[in-house]
Amino acid sequence: MFSFQVEHQEVQGQARIGKITTSRGEIRTPVFMPVGTQGSVKALTPEDLSSLGVEIILANTYHLFLRPGHERIARLGGLHSFMNWHRPILTDSGGYQVYSLGALRKISPQGVSFRSHLDGSSHFLTPELAIEIQEALGSDIAMCLDECTPYPVTYDYARLSLELTRGWALRCQQARHKKEQALFGIIQGGTFKDLRKESAESIVNIGFDGYALGGLSVGEERASRQEIMARTLPLLPKEKPRYLMGLGAPEDLIEGIDLGADMFDCVLPTRNARNGMLFTRNGPVIIKKAEYAEDPRPADPECGCYTCRNYSRAYLRHLYNSKELLSYRLNTLHNIHYFMELMQTVREAIAQDRFLEFKKAFYNQRKE
């Protein structure tokens, strides 16, 4: 079971709130999906995620395929049972991870041959196998296999990549067996406006449950990324979810929502937490700095998360500099809370037709 309903659109813009319905629960949009690469959002339990208001997480097909293996997970009852998370899961296709392997992979029209980053073993990922893996995992939303266009890239290569991604999308659609599992198509085309338009039209023509913009945050300038989003999102069906893959900076979320995007994911809140960077209303706090050595304030005085209610910047700095494992947990709790609260505040602003007012206040507060 999968459906999407737009509940309200901002009167003066494209920002909108909606509801995705799956057999494992509803997802309010716009939504940010924490990344649980290997079936785990690092440093947090599923109970932590639920308490933070997380309604959907993302898991990584490539990593779970290599370890422990999709067939083993299927024998153990599927990914939800395996990791004790009973709300929706979106699985990516593994295309981005294969892209990041560089010299360890070779792309052909049939699929991608690559060597595992774990043990050097050889594998061949096809669109059909990408669907097989995701169906075995039992995710609620699956993604088509695509080639993530690198940056910078020539026009000719971007066109070939676009055509490859379209062919793979068609094969993914044809390979589906579990119709209750939603399948999203992915738009590519690099930074070329005409190719993005062509890709959007061809992928929409195949027909999917939702649509994603891929090939973002791979090195392009923010202005270029903004233009891609502004030109491509309006080409996607209004009645289907629109997903900006891999975007996680708060500013990118706000800009994407302003242009009509519904779904986001990124490792930024969890990775930055482990690297000692905390997101706050006034901008990032780099907790390792000496200025926080005797600072009794919470990371964000306006935040109501567990970490900010109980611990000072001084203590968080001590934990981080001492390489204590508790640092990862407390910082991650805070960062995920920040993203969940940001999305909740955005949804409320859109519902009250004051998103543009909220956006202005968001940027002004970060300048203070």
For the segment 323-328, the average pLDDT, to the nearest whole number, is: 98
- Res. 105 pLDDT band, cuts 50 70 90: confident
Percentage of the chain surpassing pLDDT 90? 92
Give the model's pLDDT for residue 145: 96
Give the model's pLDDT for residue 243: 98
- Res. 43 pLDDT band, cuts 50 70 90: very high
Give the model's pLDDT for residue 96: 76
- In whole angstroms, how far apart are CA 363 and each of 149, 250, 252, 337? 31, 10, 12, 19
Question: Is the overall model pTM greater than 0.75, yes or no?
Answer: yes
Q: What is the pLDDT of residues 191-228, one digit of tens each?
A: 999 999 999 999 999 999 999 999 999 999 999 999 99
161 three-class SS: helix
Q: Write out the two tokens for 38.
A: 């290997």
What does the alpha-carbon distance between residue 144 and residue 130 come to, in Å, rounded to a whole number?
A: 7
Q: What is the pLDDT of residues 149-161, one digit of tens each?
A: 889 999 999 999 9
Q: Is 119 a catalytic residue?
A: no
Domain residue spans in the chain?
2-266, 267-362
Q: Is residue 32 within 8 Å of residue 253, measured between CB atoms? A: yes
For the segment 72-99, the average pLDDT, to the nearest whole number, is: 93
Active-site residue (options: 146, 262, 265, 300): 265
Q: What is the pLDDT of residues 157-177, one digit of tens each?
A: 999 999 999 999 999 999 999
What does the alpha-carbon distance between residue 226 and residue 221 come to, in Å, rounded to a whole number?
A: 9
How many residues in total does the chain contain? 368
Active-site residue (options: 92, 146, 252, 262): 92
For the segment 78-99, the average pLDDT, to the nearest whole number, is: 92
Share the mean pLDDT of the chain: 96
For the segment 249-265, the average pLDDT, to the nearest whole number, is: 98
Topology of domain 2-266, CATH: TIM Barrel (3.20.20)
ω into 30 cis (within 30 of 0): yes
- Residue 200 CA to chain centroid, in angstroms? 19
Q: What is the pLDDT of residues 135-147, one digit of tens each?
A: 999 999 999 999 9
What does the alpha-carbon distance between residue 242 and residue 236 come to, in Å, rounded to a whole number?
A: 7
Where do we find the tokens 């809370």?
337
37-41: Cβ within 8 A, 24+ apart: 37/63, 37/267, 38/63, 38/64, 38/67, 39/64, 39/73, 39/79, 39/82, 39/83, 40/83, 41/270, 41/332, 41/336
Q: Is 265 a catalytic residue?
A: yes
Report the chain's terminal Cα–Cα distance, integer Å. Answer: 46
Q: Is residue 347 within 8 Å of residue 262, measured between CB atoms? A: no
Give the model's pLDDT for residue 117: 85
List strands edge to edge, sheet with 2-9: 2-9, 16-22, 25-29
In this predicted structure, the answer to whether residue 98 has a pLDDT above a threshold of 90 is no
Per the DSSP assignment, residues forming a β-bridge with 105 are 114
For the segment 83-104, the average pLDDT, to the nearest whole number, is: 86
Give the model's pLDDT for residue 97: 77
SS (H, E, C) 170-220: HHHHHHCCCCCCEEEEEECCCCCHHHHHHHHHHHHHHCCCEEEECCCCCCC
In this predicted structure, the answer to whether residue 301 has a pLDDT above a threshold of 90 is yes
- Res. 368 pLDDT band, cuts 50 70 90: low
